[in-house]
Amino acid sequence: MAKVTFQTDICKGCGLCVTACPKHLIVIAKDKINKKGHSPAQITDQSACIACAFCATMCPDCVITVEK
């Protein structure tokens, strides 16, 4: 099973990972604000992730780690 982790403290919530996910599993958190004042990205269903790593490839700040 894949494991996706986000460094939410430095995520700027740009949304590029949201559009890159072919399974539509990543969203921008509506109820969280990080230290920089942004709403970070998060995964909605870890078990449905196929570990394609498109999200990590698209992230300009390298805050996403995908492990198989």
Residue 67 pLDDT exceeds 90: yes
Q: Other CB atoms closer than 10 Å to residue 41's CB: what's the count? A: 26
Q: What are phi and psi of 31, to 5 degrees?
A: -110, 10
In this predicted model, what pLDDT tens digit does every residue of 29-55 receive, in sequence order? Answer: 999 999 999 999 999 999 999 999 999
Pick from 22, 30, 20: which is nearest to 64 by CA?
20
pTM (2 decimals)?
A: 0.90
Residue 1 pLDDT exceeds 90: no
How much is the pLDDT for 47?
A: 96
The CATH classification of domain 3-67, taken from the options 3.30.70.3270, 3.40.50.2000, 3.40.50.300, 3.40.640.10: 3.30.70.3270
Q: Structural domain boundaries of the chain?
A: 3-67
Q: What is the rounded CA–CA span in Å between residue 30 and residue 41?
A: 9
